[in-house]
Every structure is written in structure tokens, then in C-alpha cells.
Chains A and B, each alone.
Chain A
Amino acid sequence: MIKNLLPVLHQKGGPLTEQLVLSPQTYGLGSLPIDQIPDSTTTAVCGYCSTGCGLKIHLKDGQAINLTPSVKYPVNLGMACPKGWEALRVLESDDRATSPLLRQADGSKQPVSWQDAIDIFCDRFKAIQNQYGNEAVAFLSTGQIPTEEMAFLGCLAKFGMGWKHGDANTRQCMATSVVAYKQSFGFDAPPFTYSDFEASDTLVFVGANPCIAHPIMWQRVLSNPNNPEIIVVDPRRTETAMNATEHLAIYPKSDLALLYGLAKLLIEMKAIKQDYIDANTTDFESFKQHVQAFDLERVAAETDVSDEQLIRVAKKIANSQRVSFWWTMGVNQSYQAVRTAQAIINLALMTGNMGRPGTGANSITGQCNAMGSRLFSNTTNLFGHHDFANPTHRAKIADVLAIPEGRIPTDSGLAYDQILSNIETGSIRGLWVVATNPSHSWINSPRAQKILAKLDFLVVQDMYSNTETAKFAHLILPAASWGEKEGTFINSERRIGLLKRVKKAPGQALADYSIFRLIANRWGCGAMFEKWVSPEATFQLLKQASRGQACDITGIDDYAMIDRCGGIQWPYTAFERSLSDTPAQERRLFSDGKYFHPDQKAKFLFVEPTEMPELPDETYPFILLTGRGSVSQWHTQSRTSKSPILRKLYPADPYVEIHPDNAAELDIEDQAWVTIHSRRGYAIVRAVLTTCVQPDQLFMPMHDGQTNNLTHEKVDPFSRQPSYKDCAVGILPSGGIR
């Protein structure tokens, strides 16, 4: 009797307990929830940032049911950030675009068939081109789709459809590094491999917060066995700065002066490698002359860093055998960005910190495939990092693609900001936006939104039908996402990785690659793309286009080889392939000191620093810094906001970080709603009091759509990358306007 009653009274097992039962370890994956046992696994590279982590997809009946970070992938060694862990979750959302949508006269959007959608696409764009010319249409691409797709888009639009102008959101993240490397090294060639994080004895991070933006790279920093010096240059006390042995909390945009000042100190300390400079570089003497003006007194005054700290940092660099320099958006998103990146490159060149393990002037890339875009998007560079203006290059590409040479334009067309300006003036009237969200992400978004609203015809091709940009669209084309298509990404360390089709796309959504095929067919240029039958077929064309370039990948057989090798870094030539079956897993560039300029030498490039374009004044007394808010957020949040867990990991309300002294002066309490305003617009956010921002500076994460209401429209003259991190704003206590 009591025995019968006991389970009723004290129930140790049952249906609720069973929900959490784990299987014994299987397939090397460890224990897993009992109802999530895969019948096979496959590794795909993650689709958020440029770290390029391998994710082991757990498959059941061919379809993904879960994932864990891949242990054997050389990038991430079994780790992933929250975005990676939740990569499959965000595919399941009611906001997914499931059929083409056409804007009706009343402003509503109604589903139409693919046939109608592609008809309308072709008819409307052709009509604009017929009436206003080929200069009247443009596309905005992305760093978020596979190389094969961005290659298709670039070739289809420019060679097939005769478009002159196309750019990508990589303009917002990596354009500076591209130009800096091209000018300094002769090719857009980030030289490093991730093991350099582990091999350095000093790491210098300029405008980079890898703890938050690239946590899996930070993993490598922490596994450095040399107890390295970590020097962080950032106006904010970021997580990375917290971990620094030296945090140079400089005045915003004084990095150029700082870097020149350090160069001068290093020269004075005789810490330069004259042999290396003489053998492998040009223009050092004029650079040396240039930095003479940056004496300690001036640099300390301009940067707000003490003499002692400047000397201490210079000594640490001077006394280290292996110094690696790393930069990200703090450098790239500036009005003098290219020269700042080159000031970093100069430091690496003059101290001989190139080409050896643990060294390098290393740009950490942003998006998962910004590196693919840089080589193959056919926007700024001709397909395969060639030059539109170079007839030999045009002939080569015409030959590779089997198209008439005359189809290839002789210049690269307009940059992002110029495309928008031309829409504003009415000379561009049709725009095709693929997998990016300019309404949210472009600088001075009130103007960007007015411009988008002005278009005669806007097509948005995206996995979600309700992005801020899709709201302006006349036609929405539903795209399959990461996980629903295949192709390759290229990560920060030049590693080509595979993504795979492991989920069904919702409704009628199609891979961007398939959408391009449909358009090519209907536009009437299908014959030109006869060979473009699959991403892998296109990959073979990429290989051919890369032949003889610094990014030569002719040694890669096919996708299976990439899969087998855990990704393959470029370059990997057919010759190297002939020597062995498998490339070394971690390779860096310039070990021979030979650069890609015709004279094989790297160039010292420099400029006199200029003032911030919009200085604080009485009405707008604060400098607004922007950047990533948390690891669980990605850019405009169209994806990361779809995961309940990721949502839980960042603050629910938009916020601004403000120094407590400023808050006290303005009588602003912690968490109070305030209005931030600039000459462009305003944002209503919560005040977060923290000494991590300096007095008279504010910080807002870029993920909230309001942040770019404030930012100031100014681009770097060489890279045309916008300067997101230095506008003047005011703050009103209370969210008055709300």
C-alpha cells in the first residue's frame, strides 16, 4: 500500500524528467538531448562574422536538427559565439519572405508568382534603362552571401544586364582595409593566419574589440602561451581594453597622430629594422621626415595619452620579437581611415614585424564573406581582383567567362555613397538591394530613407520580408538563407570555407544563386551564363579568374577538397597542389618579404592628420562613438532579433553610454530615457551611466535603427568608407520628443 502510494507522493521520474534526459555520448558529439540524436553530421562555415567558424550540423533524415561548434575545424577548435550556436534558430521566423511580394497602389504588398515577379523585375529595370540609360540603375550587394552568388550578381548585372554601378555593404566595413593593403602591398592581402594570435609576444589592437566582436579570435589571444603584452588603442574602456596590459584611451580620431608619434619614438629608440626596410620597402625616408613633426608633446596633447605611457608602449613594441598589429572598425570607419590603417602597416614594416609567426599588420574583417566580396563581387575590382581599366585584365576575364570583351565596363562605377547621391539627384532611378539593409545601416539614415523613397523601382532581395529597407521596396524577392544553400565564404585569414544546404527554405524562397539564374534567363542573357549551373560550377570559374593573381586558388580541386581540408587559405596554386594532397592548415603571407607591387616592395604611405569633420560645439557638445553592443547582436539585427535566446542576451531597450560626471551635470539618472540629437536627427534611448566612456563622449550600439539618425555623412577620400564614429551630438534629459 505505502509502496504504491510512494511514487504518487514522491515522484522521482516521469514525463517532465524525461524531457531533460541525455543520451550517452554518440558520434564524438558528447551527450545530447535524447530526442535530438543525429543520424549524420556535416560541417558548414558560420554565416555571421568573418571569423569563419566551422559549425557541425546535426542531421536527421538529411535535415538539420541542431548544431555544435566543430572541434576539428582549424578556426574555432570546438567553440562558437552565441550567434553561431543559434544559427539555425533564426531561420525559423514568421518574418521570413516566403513568396515574391509586389507593392500595390494602396501601399500594401501582395504575393505574386515567381514568373510575374521576374517579369516585373526585368520589365521595370529595362524600361528605366531604355528611358534613362544604363547609368540609371544600380545594385547594392552584401558581404553576407557566398562568393559564387556575389560573383553571379556582379557578372549578371554588369556583363549581362549592362549596368554600370554596383557596390556592397562591404563599403561600410572593409573598403578601407582593401585600399590600404592595395596601396601599401600592391594587393588586398591580409597577411595573417589565426595562429599569429598565439605566437605573438606583443599584440596591438587599434579600434578593435575582439572580446565582443570576434570572441573566437579572442579565444586564440587567451591561449597565447607567451604571457603577451596586449596594447589596446580605444577611446572606450571596452572588454578588450579591460584585458590589456596597456590601454591607450585616446581622444577620438587621434589615432593617426598616435601612430605617427609611436613611429617617431621607435625611430628614436633605434627599434627599426633598417635591413628589412631597405630590402623590402619604398618611401621610408620621406615617412621618417613626416613623423618628425609628431614629437611627444604634440602627440600627448592630441591623444590625451601621457608621455610616460607613450614611451612605455613604444618600448614594449621595441623590445618584442614578434609584434602583431590588429585593427577593425575603429580604424576602418573614419574620414582618414586608409592613412590610419597604413600608419599601422608602416609600424609593422619599419619594425620588420611582417611575414614571421606572431607578426603582421592585420585587418580583422567584419562580415562572413567580406573577403569573398573583395575578390569576386565585380564591383570595385573587376572579377578576381582585377582592374576594370586594364585591357589585359578585361581580356583575361572575357576569356575565362567566355563573354565578349566589350561587355566589360572600363571603370568600376560609383561607390555606395555616390550611388545614393545619384538617386537623390534623380540620375539613378532603379535600385536592386541584395541581403543588406541600407535604410538602417547607412550613415545619416534620415537622408538615406528619403533617398530610398525616391526610387522609381526598388527591389529588395532578402530572407526576411520586413527589414527596414524592404518597407520601401516595390518588389521583394524571397531568398533562401545560410543553411538553405551552398557556396563558399572567405574568412579573415583568407580561408575558403563551405556552407551547405541543410534546411528547406520556407515557401517559395530560392537561393540567391537560383534567383540570378531566373533573371539571367528572363533578361535574355542566359547564354552568357550557360556554365553557371551550380555554385560549384561557378567556383571553377572563380579558380580560373584567380590564376596568376595573389589570390590564386587554382590548386583547390572542388568543394569536397575544401570540406576535407577544413577550409583552404588562399593562395593555393595548382603548382602547390601538385606537390601535396593537402595544404598546410595555417599559412601566412610575405614570409619572403616580397610584396605585390611591380617592384615587389611595400610602400610607406602617410598624410597630415586632419580635424574631425564635425567638432563638438555648444549645441552639440558630445562626440558620439558607435560600435557593436554585444556578442549576440549582428548589424541591423534582422537575423539575431529572431532568436529568443539571443534577444535575452542584450538589453531590451536602446541605450547610450554616458559618463557619470556628464549625467550628474545634466541631472540624468541611470536608465532614464533621454533624447540624443544631432544636426541630422534624434534618438530616444536609455542613459547607461558608466565610466567606460570618457567625459564628453557618448557611445551607442549600431544595432538600434535610431543610431544612424545621428551619424555624420563623411567618407574617407580613398576608400569612400563612412566615418561612423565621430559625430557631434547633444543630449536632452528626458525622452522629451518621444
Chain B
Amino acid sequence: MSAPLPLNYSTQPASFDGLLNDLLQQQSRFSAVEMFANWHDEQAHTHELAPHYSVLMPASPLKAGEQYAFEVDLDACSGCKACVVACHNLNNLESDETWRKVGCLTSKESEIKAFLPVAMPVVQHVTTACHHCVDPGCLSGCPVKAYEKDPLTGIVKHLDDQCFGCKYCTMMCPYEVPQYSATLGIVRKCDMCHQRLANQEAPACVQACPNKAIRIQSVETAVVRQRGALIEAALLPTAPPNSITLPTTQFVSKRTIPASVVSMETVRDEPHDGHVPLVGMLVLTQASVGLWLMIALSLAIKVASTIELRLASIIATSLGVVGVHLALLHLGRPQLAYRAFLGWRTSWLSREAIAFGVYMAAASVATIAILFADVTSDWLGATAIILLTMTVALIGIAGVFCSAMIYVATQRELWNKRRTLSGFLGTLVALGLSLASLTTNSDIWGTFALLTCIVTAATFAPQFIDVARSSSSSSPSPRFGERGPGREGLSLASPQFPHPSPLPRKAGGEGANEVQPADFSSRSGQLITKHLARPWYLMWFCFLGAVVCSGLVYVTTGNATLFGVLSVVFFFASHLIHRWIYFSAIVTYRMPGAST
């Protein structure tokens, strides 16, 4: 070790310029090194903080059937958020990237004073990160197998170089843990600092908490499964049900926290990303499949002559081609799209990719057959083409089914099977009919147009009901279990929170101004009214335009083609907007702090 250099401060120079030069020069030097730096000659220290966190690490190695999990002592979490910044700093994350979040639960209703055992209001900060679930949604949803659950530690790791940035895991994780980075084109997430754990060091957040609120513990996966078996159980008030992914984090407290608390950050529902490329992809592929279905049906019921087969097949296949390629725009790293099939065992996104791959191949064959073979010349040819087009349509429907299941699998109430499947199939039928009408003669046109209108209206109905319900209920807000099982207040000492049923409360009974538990439907309706009013009315305007144009085709035979095309355009526009609202107006459970 060399002796520290003396700081070469000048004595007072007489001239101003001499002094200024001295001072500017001094400013560019580092006194710390010259005077004080602790040079480290030896490399082999232990981590200085180890005594602080040794009590926060599992006492014994993992046994079979166990995995690592975070445990958060809510009584010690005072909201300083050092964990968030330490994680950011010690993991070299991007400038505004955070893997840990801190939310704040607070009471919004004064009457809780009246009937709760603890009469004081609540302000409870909550630190959360990845819950390293037993059944991670991110992993099962990933189409490229970019997630691994470590067989020994249970840590859910993201393989950054494998990821192609489809963001599906950000939908599949009910806790909004994976974060997409537009600069990197991939998502990243908490890996429980597995590299540190491997060195017997605590994760950054555990190291940095001044109050030792975060620890790593071993949990039995069987116990986590039991917790998840209760449909009502959730990690915290406002959080999603445990049953979706079986999260391993435990929040513990000696206090009593009323169930009516809300998360400060998510008190107001805000629109989500509308996923424009996905909207285009979904609606165009569904229109494509719909038109193939119409082609197949019209051939089967021998009305082939009424459809201009060649034009229809070209349109149907082109829509498919455009639609499928639009999906690439959604990817952060589209050059890796070829990996999309890898997750087919668990991921509906992989299955969709495979289904539409096969569908495009089949549709191309069918189109070529229709264009170049005289398909109606004999019985054999006619039967073959019926079978071929039927096959195309069925594969396409399978693809659309996969599309729907992608969202159903997220287990969000407003994206449930009934809503999503009926919505997607509605678009399929409506736009199929609408396009088919363009290529038919006018004899059955009226029937097609009328059907299109009816199916479209039916497709939009659930959103309409949401909006109608929101205007009839008084200011719904994301309240948790107001009339659910936890009404009397919950002791956090029992680590799991009863969860309200997502079903609306039975009508009548308890008083008119009570808000129904977790009423996502009317909250979504209110979100549409408040934030998405313009697209909402534009959607209905397009629908109206389509209806009017359809009617005009009927009465003004001269401009039938123009109005026919216009009606198709209007129908397409309305369905595109509808799908955009489907994504934007989603309301679901949110972990405290999830929006930050």
C-alpha cells in the first residue's frame, strides 16, 4: 500500500486568474482517492453485511418438496422503499427499471371505525416482488420456453436471451411482475438474486431493508398448494386469488387490517395498453377464418354459384397473411419469431402460432386449388374442394379458439371463456358474413347483412352491459371484499386473506349504496365511460354506419358495390375498436403497488 498523496492545495495566489485556474484544476481531481480511499489489498473478505442478514436466510438447506420463498413482515415495512432502490442499484437495472415494488394499503371509509376491533385508520406499506409461484403463469404461458423453475430452489428464472418480447407473461402473471423493456425488446423480472443466494449472500432487497422486513425462507410446495386450493385466499387485500399461480410469498403481521382497505396506487382504474398489433392480428385472422367458413358452408349447401369463389378465397387468405404478420409488430425481437412453437405443451400462444401456421398453409393450398383447378367440373372435384375448404375453416376455427384461450388462460374475470370465446367467434362470424356478402349476388345479401348486424350487436353486448351497469351503480371503486367474508376485519396473523367471490352480490337485502364485491364489470364500464368514451362512441358510430350502408345497398341498387364496401369497412372498424377496448378496459385484481 502506497502512502496517500498530499493534496496539492495552493497557497493563496495573488492574481484572480491564477486562483481561478488553480480552482478549476482542483475541481477535476478526486480528493477522496488522494486523501482517504480504503485500498483493498486482500480480496477475500466476507460480505460485511452478512451478520445483518444471516438471520434472514433459511436456517437449513432445502429438503425435498421445499422451495425458497420471500416472507414479508408487514409490521416492519415502514414504506422507506430502500428495497426497491437497492434491487435496482445492485442488479444494474435500466434507469427506471424496478423489480420490487412498494404499495400502500389505506382505509377509505370512515365507518370502519364503528365496527372494527381496531378503530384506528390504516396506512400499511407493502413490499412485493416476484412470488416465485409453484405454478407460475409466466412460465406456462411463455411460447418460447424463456422461463425455468429451478428444480432445486424453486426460483422462477427468466432466460433473457431466449425471450422474444411477446409480453404474454405480463398478462399471465396476475401480479404484473415481468416488466417489458422497449429498449431491450424483452421482459425481465426478479430472480431472487439467485447468483447471490448461490454465494450464501442475501438478495439485494433482503440486504437493504433497514427493518429486516424481508427474509428468505423455505416453504413446502404442498402447503402452498393447499393455500391455493381455497378459491377465496389471496396474499393481501386487493391481490389476485392464490389459486391462479400458487404464489409462495408470505405476508405476516400481528396487526389487524380491515378487509375494506384499498391500494393507494390503484384506487382509480386506468386504461391498459390496447395492444394495437394484437387487435389487428386477431380481427384480421378472425375475419379470414370467418370468410373461409362462409366459403366452405356455401359450397357445402350448394350455393357456390352465389359466391365469387376466386375473389373470396384471395381475400380470405390475404387477410390471414396480413393478420399473422401483424403479430410480428407486437414482438420486441421479431427476428426470433420462429421460436414461437416451443411452448406448445403449456402455452396457448404456441398453440395459436402452430394452428395459424397450419391454417395459412392449408388456406394457400385451397386458394391455389380454387384459382387453378376447375373445382365444380365433376363430383369428385366438388367433394374434394368442399372437404378442403372445410378443413381450412376448421383449422382456422381451432386457431381462433387458441387465440381466445390465450386470454382465457389469464383467469381475468372480464376475459373469461364465455366473454372471450363468444366475442372472438362473434367477430369471426360477423366479418365472415360481411365479407361473404360482398362476393355474393344480391339475392341472399339481405340475409347476410341482417345476420352481420345481429351478430355484431351480440358481440358488443357484454361491453354494453358493463357500461350500462356502471351508470346504474354508484361510483364503484376497487374495494376489496366489502361484503365478502372479511367484513369484520382480518387478522393478518393468519397469513392468507379470505378473498371475495368475483360474483356479484345477491340482489336486495343490505342497503342500496353498498358496492358489490370486486365488481369488475361495472368498474370496466366506468373506465370506458370515463377514459375511453371517444373510442366507445366511435365504435357505435361505425356500427351504425355499417347498418345504414347495409340498408342502402338494399335500396339503392345502383351504388350497391360502393355501399357494400363501405359497410364492410365500417364493420371492420367497429370490431377493431371493440377489440381494442377489450384490452384497454380490462379491470382485475391488482397487487398493492402493481401500477408503480
Residues of A close to B91: CB separation below 8 A: 20, 22, 33
Closest B residue, CB atoms, query A670: B267
Q: A28-B46, A645-B98 are in contact. Are A10 and B342 (CB under 8 A)?
A: yes
- Interface members, chain A 1-58 (any B CB < 8 Å): 9-17, 19-22, 24-33, 35-36, 40-44, 57
Contact B195 A12 (CB under 8 A): no
* A533 and B11 contact, CB distance less than 8 A: yes
CB of B342, distance to nearest CB on chain A (Å): 7
CB proximity of B129 to chain A, nearest CB, Å = 15
Among A25, A35, A243, A659, residue most surrounded by chain B Cβ atoms (within 10 Å): A25
Given contacts A44-B32, A510-B23, contact A21 B195 (CB under 8 A): yes
Minimal beta-carbon separation of B130 from chain A (angstroms): 14
Assuming the A-B contacts A480-B27, A645-B98, are A40 and B109 also in contact, with contact meaning beta carbons closer than 8 angstroms in the complex? no
* Residue A82 at the chain B interface, CB threshold 8 Å: yes
Known A-B contacts A11-B162, A691-B107; the reply to A514 vs B27 at CB < 8 A is yes
Residues 498-524 of A contacting B (Cβ, < 8 Å): 498, 500-505, 508-511, 514, 517-518, 521-522
Binding stretch for chain A, among B78-86, B410-418, B544-552: B78-86
Q: Is the CB of A691 within 8 A of B596?
A: no
Question: B378 to chain A: which residues have CB within 8 Å?
Answer: none
What's the minimum C-beta distance from A146 to chain B, rounded to whole angstroms? 12
Q: Is A449 part of the binding interface, using a Cβ–Cβ cutoff of 8 Å?
A: no
* CB contact under 8 A between A692 and B19, given known A82-B85, A502-B32: no
Interface pair B78/A243, CB less than 8 Å apart: yes
Residues of B within 8 A of A90 (CB): none
Q: Which of B76-125 contact A (CB under 8 A)?
A: 76, 78-82, 84-86, 88-92, 95-96, 98, 102, 106-110, 112-113, 120-125
- Determine whether the beta carbon of A25 is less than 8 Å from that of B46: yes
Are B48 and A29 in contact, with the CB atoms below 8 A? Answer: yes
Q: Is the CB of A30 within 8 A of B159?
A: no
A689 to B19, CA, bound (A): 58
Would you give the shortest CB distance from A512 to chain B, in whole angstroms? Answer: 11
B32:A690 contact, CB within 8 angstroms: no
B96 x A78 contact (CB < 8 A): no
Contact A17 B35 (CB under 8 A): no
Assess whether B186 is interfacial by the CB under 8 Å rule.
yes
A10 touches B596 (CB 8 A): no
Which B residues between 15 and 47 are near A, CB-CB below 8 angstroms? 16-17, 19-20, 23-24, 26-33, 35-40, 43, 45-47
Provide the bound-state CA to CA distance between A62 and B76, in Å.
38
> In whole angstroms, how far apart are the Cα atoms of A630 and B113 in the complex?
26
Within 8 Å of chain B (Cβ to Cβ): is A173?
no
Whether B95 pairs with A644 at a CB distance below 8 angstroms is yes
* Whole-angstrom distance between the Cβ of A215 and the nearest chain B Cβ: 4
* CA gap between A644 and B196 in the complex, in Å: 26
Complexed CA–CA distance, A514 and B46 (Å): 41
What are the interface flags for A227-263 relative to B under an 8 Å C-beta threshold, 1 for contact and 0 otherwise?
Answer: 0000000000111111100010100000000000000
Binds A, one of B206-214, B386-394, B564-572: B206-214
Measured CB to CB, the closest approach of chain B to A24, in angstroms, equals 6
Contact status B86-A85, CB under 8 Å: yes
Is A290 in contact with chain B by the CB < 8 A criterion? no
Q: Which of A219, A501, A521 sits near B210, CB closer than 8 Å? A: A219
Residues of B within 8 A of A584 (CB): none
Contact residues in A for B17 (Cβ distance below 8 Å): 115
Q: Are A16 and B186 in contact (CB under 8 A)?
A: yes
Complex Cα–Cα for A533 and B11 (A): 6
Q: Which of B16, B80, B84, B121 contacts A118 (CB 8 A)?
A: B16
Judge if B223 is at the interface, Cβ distance under 8 Å.
no
A631 touches B9 (CB 8 A): no
Report yes or no: A71 in contact with B52, Cβ–Cβ below 8 A: yes
- Considering residues B81, B88, B107, which has the most beta carbons from chain A within 10 angstroms of its beta carbon? B81
Chain B contact surface mostly? loop
- In the complex, whether B160 has a CB less than 8 A from a CB of chain A is yes
Interface pair B123/A533, CB less than 8 Å apart = no
Cβ-defined contact, B31 with A500, below 8 A: yes
Quick one: given A16-B186, A691-B107, are A114 and B12 in contact (CB under 8 Å)?
no
In the complex, the answer to whether B39 meets A518 with C-beta atoms within 8 Å is: no
Nearest opposing residue in chain B for A644, CB measure: B96
CB pair B596–A30 under 8 Å, yes or no, is no
A contact residues around B43 at 8 Å (CB) = 26-27
Give Cα distance in the complex from A42 to B33, angstroms.
Answer: 8
**Bitwise interface map of A from 425 to 457 toward B, beta carbon under 8 Å scored 1, else 0:** 000000000000000000000000000000000
B268 within 8 A of partner (CB): yes
Tell me the minimal C-beta distance from A696 to chain B in angstroms.
Answer: 12
Q: Is A41 a contact partner of B40 (Cβ separation < 8 A)?
A: yes
List of A residues within 8 angstroms of B40 by Cβ: 26-28, 40-41
Pair A215/B80 contact, Cβ less than 8 Å: yes
Interface string of A69-101 (1 = CB under 8 A from B): 101100011111110011000000000000000
Contacts A10-B145, A211-B80, A644-B95; A115 near B20 (Cβ below 8 A): yes
Residues of B with C-beta under 8 A to A28? 40, 45-48
- Which interface residue of A31, A41, A526, A530 has the most chain B CB atoms within 10 A? A31
Complex: chain A residue closest to B89, CB-CB: A85
Q: A20-B91, A216-B210, A691-B121 are in contact. Are A511 and B12 (CB under 8 A)?
A: no
Which chain B residues in 44-83 approach chain A with CB under 8 Å? Answer: 45-49, 52, 75-76, 78-82
Q: Is A411 an interface residue (CB 8 A)?
A: no
Residue pair B90, A57 in contact (C-beta under 8 Å): no
Q: Are A82 and B267 in contact (CB under 8 A)?
A: no
Q: Is the CB of A215 within 8 A of B19?
A: no
Known contacts A10-B162, A79-B82, A649-B596: does B195 contact A518 (CB below 8 Å)?
A: no
* A48, chain B: closest CB distance, angstroms: 13
Do B76 and A16 touch (CB < 8 A)? no
Residue A212 at the B interface, CB < 8 A? yes
Query: A526 is contacted by which of B12, B78, B82, B96 (Cβ under 8 Å)?
Result: B12
Q: Are A42 and B123 in contact (CB under 8 A)?
A: no
| Least distance between B447 CB and chain A CB atoms (Å) | 48
A644 to B39, CA, bound (A): 32
For residue B7, CB closer than 8 A to chain A, the reply is yes
- A297-352 interface with B by 8 A CB criterion: none
Which residues B170-211 have CB closer than 8 A to chain A?
184, 186, 188, 191, 193, 195-196, 199, 201, 207-211
Please pick, from B120, B159, B342, the residue contacting A17 in the complex, using a CB distance under 8 A: B159
B475 at the interface (CB under 8 A from A): yes
B242 contacts across to A, CB distance below 8 A: none
* Bound complex: CA A691 to CA B105 (Å): 12
Q: How far is the CB of A159 from chain B (nearest CB, A)?
A: 16
Residue in A31, A59, A521 whose CB lies within 8 Å of B201: A31
Pair B159/A12 contact, Cβ less than 8 Å: yes
Given A80-B82, A505-B27, A645-B85, A42 and B19 touching (CB < 8 A)? Answer: no
B124: contacting residue among A219, A242, A514, A671, CB under 8 A: A242
- 8 Å CB contact of B31 from A27, A237, A501, A514: A501
CA distance A659 to B113 in the complex (A): 13
* CB-contact partner of A508 in B24, B208, B209, under 8 A: B24
A384 within 8 A of B: no
In chain A, what residue has the closest Cβ to B52? Answer: A78
Q: How far is the CB of A480 from chain B (nearest CB, A)?
A: 6
B49 touches A219 (CB 8 A): no
Q: Can you name 7 A-B pairs with beta carbons within 8 Å?
A: A14-B160, A25-B46, A40-B39, A77-B52, A82-B84, A511-B27, A521-B19
Q: A16-B184, A249-B120 are in contact. List 13 more A-B contacts (CB 8 A).
A: A9-B339, A10-B162, A25-B201, A40-B39, A59-B30, A68-B90, A85-B86, A115-B20, A498-B36, A644-B96, A645-B84, A649-B85, A695-B110
Residues of B within 8 A of A (CB): 7, 9-12, 16-17, 19-20, 23-24, 26-33, 35-40, 43, 45-49, 52, 75-76, 78-82, 84-86, 88-92, 95-96, 98, 102, 106-110, 112-113, 120-125, 145, 159-163, 184, 186, 188, 191, 193, 195-196, 199, 201, 207-212, 264-265, 267-268, 339, 342, 475, 477, 596
* 7 closest residue pairs by CB, A with B: A14-B161, A33-B92, A219-B210, A691-B121, A16-B160, A28-B45, A215-B80
